[in-house]
Structure 1
Amino acid sequence: MSKLYFRYAAMNAGKSTALLQVAYNYEERGMRVRLFTAAHDDRHGRGAIGSRLGLTREAETFAPSTVFDRAGLGDDTLACVLVDEAQFLTPEQVRQLHRLAHAGHLPVICYGLRSDFRGDAFPGSAMLLTLADDVEEMKTICACARKATMNIRIDAQGRRVKDGDQVEIGGNDRYRAVCPSCFYADDDGGAVLAPGLFG
């Protein structure tokens, strides 16, 4: 039985690396996959999935208007759909992917963040946590050596940013994965992060 899978983690847990490995495994066995990433995420170039290990691969992009259905994905030789930056899916797109897995008999594996820099759920992630048949947390660590489950946004001076749009594309220069203790540690107004602690 095909399923909708959600693999989530904080930043820097290797989500994109894992996705690229899964794609390689399928293709090494002669199976076709389709890879998708968010259209507005151009950190590795538009329509590219990249990992911090230096691996990069072309992918199709999705926007809020993208429809995921069997007819749009092509012939029956497709073995799997892989979605990076899945937090940017709309709730309706997650429902489409769930339907695709069950009515279309096509495995769908999504990788993404669970929450934003404020600790609020992304709408796509909330729906994935609701509908996914298999949910797995990928692990990474905070600079304090605890398990990181949260993300923070920082400015150019290393100060914590607590307000702003939910979506602002950036990598290690703008975001850090932290444990819950560190997430709440600077509730006194945005102290500069300790030198060397985050980079």
Structure 2
Amino acid sequence: MQPDSTDPQSDPTDALSAVPAAGARRATPVTGHLRFYYGPMDCGKSTLALQVDHNHARQGRVGVLLVRMDRSGRPQISSRIGITRPAVEVSAAADLRGLVRARWAAGQRVDYLIVDEAQFLTPAQVDQLAELADDYQVDVYCFGIATDFQGRLFPGASRLVELADELRPVQVDVLCWCGLPARFNARVVAGQVVREGDTVLVADTADTADTETGQSTTEGDEIVSGSGTVGATVRYQVLCRRHFRLGDLGTTSGVQGQLAFA
């Protein structure tokens, strides 16, 4: 049956239109978006998180910055280029829905969330973020590393991959020492790539002194007490897949990786 071109309610181009008709739009519930920006160390995830927050704040939107175990050990989002902003530290037991509802109960707006180090969230917390987006129209921007030092998805990152509306690799390539793009975060203990140990072992990247031992730590290194690493110097180095598999740190093992714009 051909549409009646004289009928003002009939538009033969509706089937080709990417935008629903007004009536259809009214029937579609308004939801927030859950986005996951991911990449290896040094690719600028935290810098991008602070830039996204800045852009939204300039438009009059009100957001909350959340972080789970920032490299600095402080409740803040810290970028390797030196930009930092205070943030709410999220514990493993925190209910992110309750955090937002408490702010609403206090008469505060929450239009969006910025979540850094999102790989350390629990899968249940990622579910909570999805609920905030779907049922409360809160836009959620998550930033984090996808895989751990064994090359496996972090539980939080895995759940984000499953639930996020958008998955966006950060568009600054980090290069392995060989010059190829680096995707893997190798854990290096005493100059050797290790394959076993605690999944979560956060090392500060600043040049600081260890508070317990008094030993100075260089960039990317930290004296830590973890599985099989008590008193050892631990650092992370980004590698391409081949050199990650081989455990090959190159001739200059202190190199932390290079940045290149994709």
Same fold (TM over 0.5): yes
CA distance in structure 1 between the aligned counterparts of 2:249 and 2:45, rounded to whole angstroms:
28
Q: 1:149 aligns with which of 164, 183, 186?
A: 183
Aligned equivalent of 1:64 = 92
Instruction: Map Cα deviations across residues 127-158 of structure 1 (whole Å, 9 max, x no partner).
Output: 00000010011232222221111110112x43
How many Å separate the matches in 2 of 1:91 and 1:196?
35
Identity of aligned residues (%): 35
Residue identity in the other structure for 1:9: G
Equivalence for 1:169? 202
Deviations 1:41-66 (A, max 9, x none): 3x324201111101111100111111
Task: Please tell me whether the aligned partners of residues 89 and 124 of structure 1 are also in contact (alpha carbons under 8 angstroms).
Answer: yes
The answer as to whether partners of 2:178 and 2:250 remain within 8 angstroms in 1 is no
**Cα deviation 1:155-178 (Å, max 9, x = unaligned):** 2x4321221100000142311121
Residue 5 (structure 1) shift: 0.3
DSSP 3-state at the match of 1:116: coil
Query: Relative contact order, CA 8 A, sep 6+: which one is greater?
Result: 1
Question: How many Å apart are 1:77 and its aligned residue?
Answer: 2.7
- 1:107-118, aligned counterparts within 5 Å? 107-118=139-150
**Structure 1 residue runs without a partner (length 5+):** none
Residue 197 of structure 1 and its aligned partner are, at CA, apart by 6.6
Q: Return the letter of the residue paired with 1:183.
A: F
Deviations 1:101-148 (A, max 9, x none): 111101000001111001121110100000001001123222222111
Residues 63, 181 of structure 1: CA spacing in aligned structure 2 closer, same or farther, 3 A cutoff? same
Distance in 1 (alpha carbons) for counterparts of 2:103 and 2:244:
40
Structure 1 length normalisation: TM-score? 0.89
Report if the CA contact (8 A) 2:243-2:249 is conserved: no
Q: Does the Cα contact within 8 Å between 1:91 and 1:124 map onto a contact in 2?
A: yes
Q: How does 1:58-137 map to 2 (within 5 A)?
A: 58-69=86-97, 70-74=100-104, 75=107, 77-137=109-169
Seen in structure 2, the aligned counterparts of structure 1 residues 196 and 176 have a Cα distance that, compared at 3 Å, is closer
One of 63, 73, 79 as aligned partner of 1:33: 63
After TM superposition, the structure 1 = structure 2 runs for residues 43-58 of structure 1, keeping only pairs within 5 Å, are 43-58=71-86
Range that drifts further, 136-145 or 118-127: 136-145
DSSP 3-state at the match of 1:96: helix
The count of corresponding residues between Structure 1 and Structure 2 is: 192
Structure 2 residue corresponding to 1:20, chosen from 33, 50, 56: 50
C-alpha contact 1:142 1:178 (8 A) present in aligned 2: yes
TM-score where L is the length of structure 2: 0.69
Larger Rg: 2
